[in-house]
Amino acid sequence: MKIIGGPASQLLASRTARALGTEPALCEFNSFPDGELYLRIAEETENENVTLIQSTPTDSDLVALIQLIDACEGAAKINVVIPYMGYARQDKKFKPGEPISARAVARCINADRVFTINIHEKSVLGHFPCPAEDLDAAKLLGEYIATLSLENPLLVAPDAGAQGLVKNVASDLGFACDYLQKTRLSGDTVEIKTKTVDVTGRHIVLVDDMIATGGTMAESIRMLRGQGAADVYLACVHPVLARNAAIRLFNAGVKDIIASDTLEKAESRVSMAPLIADALKGL
Ligand code: R5P
Protein backbone atom coordinates (compact mmCIF):
# COMPACT_ATOMS: atom_id res chain seq x y z
CA MET A 1 0.00 0.00 0.00
CA LYS A 2 1.27 3.49 -0.87
CA ILE A 3 0.96 6.06 1.90
CA ILE A 4 0.75 9.66 0.72
CA GLY A 5 0.79 12.53 3.19
CA GLY A 6 -0.83 15.83 2.35
CA PRO A 7 0.76 19.15 3.40
CA ALA A 8 -1.08 19.25 6.76
CA SER A 9 -0.17 15.69 7.79
CA GLN A 10 3.41 15.10 6.73
CA LEU A 11 4.58 13.82 10.13
CA LEU A 12 1.54 11.68 10.79
CA ALA A 13 1.74 10.13 7.31
CA SER A 14 5.44 9.39 7.81
CA ARG A 15 4.80 7.83 11.23
CA THR A 16 1.93 5.75 9.84
CA ALA A 17 4.05 4.53 6.92
CA ARG A 18 6.80 3.56 9.35
CA ALA A 19 4.30 1.71 11.56
CA LEU A 20 3.32 -0.24 8.43
CA GLY A 21 6.96 -0.94 7.52
CA THR A 22 6.96 1.24 4.42
CA GLU A 23 8.00 4.74 3.31
CA PRO A 24 5.61 7.54 2.38
CA ALA A 25 5.54 8.59 -1.27
CA LEU A 26 7.23 11.88 -2.06
CA CYS A 27 5.07 14.76 -3.26
CA GLU A 28 5.79 18.24 -4.49
CA PHE A 29 3.69 20.99 -2.93
CA ASN A 30 3.86 24.46 -4.42
CA SER A 31 1.67 27.35 -5.48
CA PHE A 32 1.17 29.33 -8.65
CA PRO A 33 1.92 33.08 -8.71
CA ASP A 34 -1.79 33.85 -8.18
CA GLY A 35 -1.86 31.68 -5.05
CA GLU A 36 -3.59 28.62 -6.51
CA LEU A 37 -2.15 25.34 -5.24
CA TYR A 38 0.03 23.03 -7.29
CA LEU A 39 0.96 19.52 -6.27
CA ARG A 40 2.43 16.44 -7.87
CA ILE A 41 2.80 12.91 -6.52
CA ALA A 42 6.32 11.95 -7.55
CA GLU A 43 5.51 8.22 -7.73
CA GLU A 44 3.31 6.05 -9.89
CA THR A 45 -0.10 5.31 -8.33
CA GLU A 46 -1.67 3.49 -11.29
CA ASN A 47 -3.25 0.20 -10.11
CA GLU A 48 -1.88 0.71 -6.58
CA ASN A 49 -3.77 0.67 -3.29
CA VAL A 50 -3.27 4.21 -2.06
CA THR A 51 -3.93 5.80 1.34
CA LEU A 52 -4.00 9.58 1.49
CA ILE A 53 -3.55 11.15 4.92
CA GLN A 54 -4.47 14.81 5.14
CA SER A 55 -6.16 16.89 7.83
CA THR A 56 -8.22 19.80 6.60
CA PRO A 57 -7.93 22.63 9.14
CA THR A 58 -7.84 25.24 6.34
CA ASP A 59 -9.60 25.68 3.01
CA SER A 60 -6.24 25.22 1.25
CA ASP A 61 -5.76 21.89 3.00
CA LEU A 62 -9.15 20.76 1.76
CA VAL A 63 -8.26 21.77 -1.80
CA ALA A 64 -4.95 19.90 -1.49
CA LEU A 65 -6.84 16.76 -0.41
CA ILE A 66 -9.22 17.02 -3.36
CA GLN A 67 -6.23 17.51 -5.68
CA LEU A 68 -4.47 14.46 -4.20
CA ILE A 69 -7.56 12.30 -4.75
CA ASP A 70 -7.76 13.50 -8.33
CA ALA A 71 -4.05 12.85 -8.89
CA CYS A 72 -4.60 9.22 -7.83
CA GLU A 73 -6.94 8.62 -10.77
CA GLY A 74 -6.19 5.09 -11.97
CA ALA A 75 -5.31 3.77 -8.50
CA ALA A 76 -6.86 0.38 -7.70
CA LYS A 77 -8.26 1.71 -4.44
CA ILE A 78 -8.15 5.07 -2.65
CA ASN A 79 -8.44 5.25 1.14
CA VAL A 80 -8.62 8.73 2.61
CA VAL A 81 -7.71 9.44 6.23
CA ILE A 82 -8.87 12.86 7.44
CA PRO A 83 -7.43 12.96 10.98
CA TYR A 84 -8.96 16.38 11.68
CA MET A 85 -11.88 17.37 9.50
CA GLY A 86 -12.51 21.08 9.28
CA TYR A 87 -16.15 22.28 9.08
CA ALA A 88 -17.34 19.17 10.97
CA ARG A 89 -18.93 21.41 13.61
CA GLN A 90 -21.39 22.91 11.08
CA ASP A 91 -23.26 19.61 10.99
CA LYS A 92 -26.74 21.14 10.76
CA LYS A 93 -28.48 24.34 9.73
CA PHE A 94 -28.45 26.44 12.89
CA LYS A 95 -30.26 29.31 11.06
CA PRO A 96 -32.31 29.31 7.85
CA GLY A 97 -30.17 29.83 4.78
CA GLU A 98 -27.03 28.22 6.18
CA PRO A 99 -25.27 25.33 4.47
CA ILE A 100 -24.57 22.06 6.23
CA SER A 101 -20.87 22.66 5.66
CA ALA A 102 -19.80 19.26 6.99
CA ARG A 103 -22.03 17.61 4.39
CA ALA A 104 -20.72 19.88 1.61
CA VAL A 105 -17.13 18.92 2.48
CA ALA A 106 -17.87 15.21 2.86
CA ARG A 107 -19.53 15.11 -0.56
CA CYS A 108 -16.26 16.30 -2.17
CA ILE A 109 -14.35 13.23 -0.99
CA ASN A 110 -14.47 10.82 -3.90
CA ALA A 111 -12.77 7.74 -2.45
CA ASP A 112 -13.35 4.06 -1.73
CA ARG A 113 -13.04 4.39 2.03
CA VAL A 114 -12.75 7.25 4.53
CA PHE A 115 -11.40 7.29 8.07
CA THR A 116 -11.71 10.21 10.49
CA ILE A 117 -10.51 10.49 14.08
CA ASN A 118 -12.94 11.62 16.80
CA ILE A 119 -14.99 13.57 14.31
CA HIS A 120 -17.03 16.23 16.12
CA GLU A 121 -20.38 14.70 15.14
CA LYS A 122 -20.59 11.09 13.98
CA SER A 123 -23.69 11.69 11.83
CA VAL A 124 -21.37 13.52 9.40
CA LEU A 125 -19.94 10.12 8.42
CA GLY A 126 -23.19 9.38 6.62
CA HIS A 127 -22.57 12.23 4.18
CA PHE A 128 -19.45 10.70 2.58
CA PRO A 129 -20.22 9.02 -0.73
CA CYS A 130 -18.40 5.86 0.45
CA PRO A 131 -18.11 3.86 3.70
CA ALA A 132 -16.65 6.05 6.44
CA GLU A 133 -15.43 5.08 9.90
CA ASP A 134 -14.43 7.18 12.88
CA LEU A 135 -11.37 6.03 14.85
CA ASP A 136 -11.08 6.71 18.58
CA ALA A 137 -7.97 8.37 20.00
CA ALA A 138 -9.05 7.69 23.60
CA LYS A 139 -6.85 4.67 24.31
CA LEU A 140 -3.68 6.36 23.06
CA LEU A 141 -4.45 9.57 24.96
CA GLY A 142 -5.08 7.55 28.12
CA GLU A 143 -1.81 5.67 27.76
CA TYR A 144 0.04 8.98 27.49
CA ILE A 145 -1.74 10.44 30.52
CA ALA A 146 -0.71 7.34 32.48
CA THR A 147 2.96 8.14 31.77
CA LEU A 148 2.55 11.44 33.70
CA SER A 149 2.27 9.33 36.89
CA LEU A 150 -0.22 11.75 38.45
CA GLU A 151 -1.38 10.77 41.91
CA ASN A 152 -5.11 9.89 41.94
CA PRO A 153 -5.99 12.12 38.94
CA LEU A 154 -9.55 13.08 38.09
CA LEU A 155 -10.37 13.19 34.38
CA VAL A 156 -13.01 15.81 33.62
CA ALA A 157 -15.07 16.59 30.52
CA PRO A 158 -15.73 20.34 30.18
CA ASP A 159 -19.22 19.62 28.84
CA ALA A 160 -21.71 16.78 28.55
CA GLY A 161 -20.72 16.26 24.89
CA ALA A 162 -17.21 15.18 25.90
CA GLN A 163 -18.40 12.67 28.52
CA GLY A 164 -18.10 9.65 26.23
CA LEU A 165 -14.53 10.55 25.28
CA VAL A 166 -13.50 11.07 28.91
CA LYS A 167 -15.03 7.75 29.93
CA ASN A 168 -13.13 5.98 27.15
CA VAL A 169 -9.84 7.71 28.06
CA ALA A 170 -10.28 6.79 31.73
CA SER A 171 -11.70 3.30 31.36
CA ASP A 172 -8.69 1.03 30.78
CA LEU A 173 -6.65 2.91 33.36
CA GLY A 174 -9.11 2.92 36.20
CA PHE A 175 -9.05 6.72 36.55
CA ALA A 176 -12.06 8.50 38.06
CA CYS A 177 -13.97 10.83 35.75
CA ASP A 178 -16.65 13.51 35.88
CA TYR A 179 -18.04 16.30 33.70
CA LEU A 180 -18.91 19.99 33.90
CA GLN A 181 -21.85 21.89 32.43
CA LYS A 182 -21.14 24.40 29.69
CA THR A 183 -23.30 27.06 28.08
CA ARG A 184 -21.82 28.72 24.99
CA LEU A 185 -22.37 32.52 25.06
CA SER A 186 -20.55 33.35 21.79
CA GLY A 187 -17.91 31.95 19.44
CA ASP A 188 -15.15 32.34 21.99
CA THR A 189 -16.91 32.79 25.35
CA VAL A 190 -18.60 30.14 27.45
CA GLU A 191 -20.06 29.84 30.94
CA ILE A 192 -19.00 26.80 32.95
CA LYS A 193 -21.35 25.85 35.79
CA THR A 194 -19.91 24.67 39.07
CA LYS A 195 -20.47 21.03 39.83
CA THR A 196 -20.52 19.36 43.17
CA VAL A 197 -17.34 17.40 42.79
CA ASP A 198 -14.61 17.74 45.38
CA VAL A 199 -11.44 18.64 43.51
CA THR A 200 -9.52 20.02 46.49
CA GLY A 201 -5.86 19.17 46.12
CA ARG A 202 -6.50 16.82 43.19
CA HIS A 203 -4.67 16.75 39.88
CA ILE A 204 -7.17 17.27 37.08
CA VAL A 205 -6.94 16.34 33.42
CA LEU A 206 -9.59 18.14 31.37
CA VAL A 207 -10.31 16.11 28.23
CA ASP A 208 -12.13 17.30 25.09
CA ASP A 209 -12.21 16.41 21.42
CA MET A 210 -10.74 19.78 20.43
CA ILE A 211 -9.44 23.05 21.78
CA ALA A 212 -10.41 25.79 19.33
CA THR A 213 -10.33 29.29 20.84
CA GLY A 214 -9.52 27.88 24.27
CA GLY A 215 -12.59 29.54 25.80
CA THR A 216 -14.09 26.28 27.09
CA MET A 217 -10.88 25.09 28.69
CA ALA A 218 -9.83 28.49 30.09
CA GLU A 219 -13.16 28.86 31.93
CA SER A 220 -12.98 25.26 33.15
CA ILE A 221 -9.42 25.71 34.47
CA ARG A 222 -10.42 28.90 36.33
CA MET A 223 -13.43 27.21 37.87
CA LEU A 224 -11.51 24.12 38.97
CA ARG A 225 -8.56 26.07 40.35
CA GLY A 226 -11.00 28.35 42.16
CA GLN A 227 -12.36 25.23 43.85
CA GLY A 228 -8.92 24.23 45.07
CA ALA A 229 -7.70 21.82 42.36
CA ALA A 230 -3.95 21.22 42.28
CA ASP A 231 -2.42 21.03 38.76
CA VAL A 232 -4.80 21.18 35.81
CA TYR A 233 -3.66 19.48 32.60
CA LEU A 234 -5.49 19.59 29.28
CA ALA A 235 -5.71 16.68 26.88
CA CYS A 236 -7.37 16.92 23.50
CA VAL A 237 -7.46 15.06 20.23
CA HIS A 238 -7.40 18.10 17.93
CA PRO A 239 -5.21 21.07 19.01
CA VAL A 240 -6.78 23.70 16.74
CA LEU A 241 -5.54 26.39 19.15
CA ALA A 242 -6.86 29.28 17.07
CA ARG A 243 -5.64 32.86 17.57
CA ASN A 244 -4.29 33.33 21.11
CA ALA A 245 -5.73 30.12 22.58
CA ALA A 246 -2.44 28.90 24.08
CA ILE A 247 -1.88 32.19 25.89
CA ARG A 248 -5.47 32.19 27.20
CA LEU A 249 -4.87 28.72 28.62
CA PHE A 250 -1.55 29.54 30.26
CA ASN A 251 -3.01 32.75 31.69
CA ALA A 252 -5.81 30.63 33.16
CA GLY A 253 -3.16 28.52 34.89
CA VAL A 254 -2.89 25.34 32.84
CA LYS A 255 -0.02 23.07 33.84
CA ASP A 256 0.47 21.50 30.40
CA ILE A 257 -1.36 20.83 27.14
CA ILE A 258 -1.31 17.32 25.70
CA ALA A 259 -2.62 16.76 22.19
CA SER A 260 -2.51 14.29 19.35
CA ASP A 261 -0.88 14.82 15.96
CA THR A 262 -4.14 15.03 13.98
CA LEU A 263 -2.94 18.63 13.77
CA GLU A 264 0.82 19.06 13.86
CA LYS A 265 1.53 21.56 16.64
CA ALA A 266 4.14 21.84 19.38
CA GLU A 267 1.60 20.27 21.76
CA SER A 268 1.09 17.19 19.52
CA ARG A 269 2.83 14.59 21.63
CA VAL A 270 0.55 11.59 21.14
CA SER A 271 0.78 10.11 17.67
CA MET A 272 -2.28 8.61 16.04
CA ALA A 273 -0.09 6.58 13.68
CA PRO A 274 -0.70 3.24 15.49
CA LEU A 275 -4.46 3.84 15.34
CA ILE A 276 -4.41 4.56 11.60
CA ALA A 277 -1.96 1.74 10.87
CA ASP A 278 -4.21 -0.77 12.69
CA ALA A 279 -7.27 0.44 10.76
CA LEU A 280 -5.42 0.09 7.44
CA LYS A 281 -4.14 -3.37 8.36
CA GLY A 282 -7.74 -4.40 8.95
CA LEU A 283 -8.85 -3.54 5.39
C1 R5P B 1 -17.63 21.61 21.44
O2 R5P B 1 -18.63 20.97 21.60
C3 R5P B 1 -16.28 20.97 21.40
O4 R5P B 1 -16.27 19.70 21.95
C5 R5P B 1 -15.26 21.82 22.10
O6 R5P B 1 -15.62 21.89 23.46
C7 R5P B 1 -15.23 23.19 21.52
O8 R5P B 1 -15.15 23.14 20.14
C9 R5P B 1 -14.06 23.96 22.08
O10 R5P B 1 -14.10 25.24 21.55
P11 R5P B 1 -13.35 26.45 22.23
O12 R5P B 1 -11.93 26.02 22.48
O13 R5P B 1 -13.44 27.55 21.20
O14 R5P B 1 -14.08 26.78 23.48
Q: What percent of the chain has pLDDT over 70?
A: 99
Q: Tell me if 191 is assigned to some domain.
A: yes
Predicted local confidence at residue 116, as pLDDT: 98
List, for residues 157-174, the tens digit of each pLDDT value: 999 899 999 999 998 788
Q: Work out the average pLDDT over 231-253.
A: 97
CA distances from 55 to 11, 83, 142, 238 (A): 11, 5, 22, 10
0.85 cut: is pTM over it? yes
The answer to whether the beta carbons of residues 50 and 1 sit under 8 Å apart is: yes
Q: What percent of the chain has pLDDT over 90?
A: 90
Q: Tell me if 266 is assigned to some domain.
A: no
Contacts of residue 240, Cβ cutoff 8 Å, sequence gap at least 6: 57, 84, 210, 211, 212, 263
Domain of residue 32 covers 2-136+271-281
Both 191 and 275 in a single domain? no
List, for residues 61-79, the tens digit of each pLDDT value: 999 999 999 999 999 999 9
Both 89 and 188 in a single domain? no
List, for residues 92-136, the tens digit of each pLDDT value: 999 999 999 999 999 999 999 999 999 999 999 999 999 999 999
Both 145 and 236 in a single domain? yes
Both 145 and 245 in a single domain? yes
Instruction: Report the residue among 90, 181, 210 best suited for mutation to probe ligand 1: largest number of ligand atoms under 8 A from its CB.
Output: 210
Both 116 and 180 in a single domain? no
Ligand 1: which atom is nearest the Cα of residue 216? 14
Both 208 and 124 in a single domain? no
List, for residues 175-216, the tens digit of each pLDDT value: 999 999 878 888 778 787 766 678 999 999 999 999 999 999
Both 31 and 81 in a single domain? yes
- CATH number at 91 reads 3.40.50.2020
Both 72 and 157 in a single domain? no
Q: Tell me if 252 is assigned to some domain.
A: yes
The answer to whether the beta carbons of residues 138 and 163 sit under 8 Å apart is: no
Predicted local confidence at residue 208, as pLDDT: 97
281 is catalytic: no
Q: Tell me if 194 is assigned to some domain.
A: yes
Q: Tell me if 254 is assigned to some domain.
A: yes
By alpha-carbon position, which residue is closest to atom 2 of ligand 1?
161
Decide whether any atom of ligand 1 lies within 6 Å of the 213 Cβ.
Answer: yes
Both 123 and 50 in a single domain? yes
Both 155 and 243 in a single domain? yes
Nearest to 118 by CA among 278, 270, 269, 262: 262
Both 20 and 125 in a single domain? yes
CA-CA-CA-CA dihedral for 51, 54, 60, 63, to nearest 10:
20
Average pLDDT, the chain: 95
Ligand 1 centre to CA of 17 (Å) is 31
Number of domains composing the chain: 2
Predicted local confidence at residue 261, as pLDDT: 98
Instruction: Report the residue among 190, 216, 263 best suited for mutation to probe ligand 1: largest number of ligand atoms under 8 A from its CB.
Output: 216
Residue among 182, 193, 255, 265 flagged as catalytic: 182
Both 174 and 255 in a single domain? yes
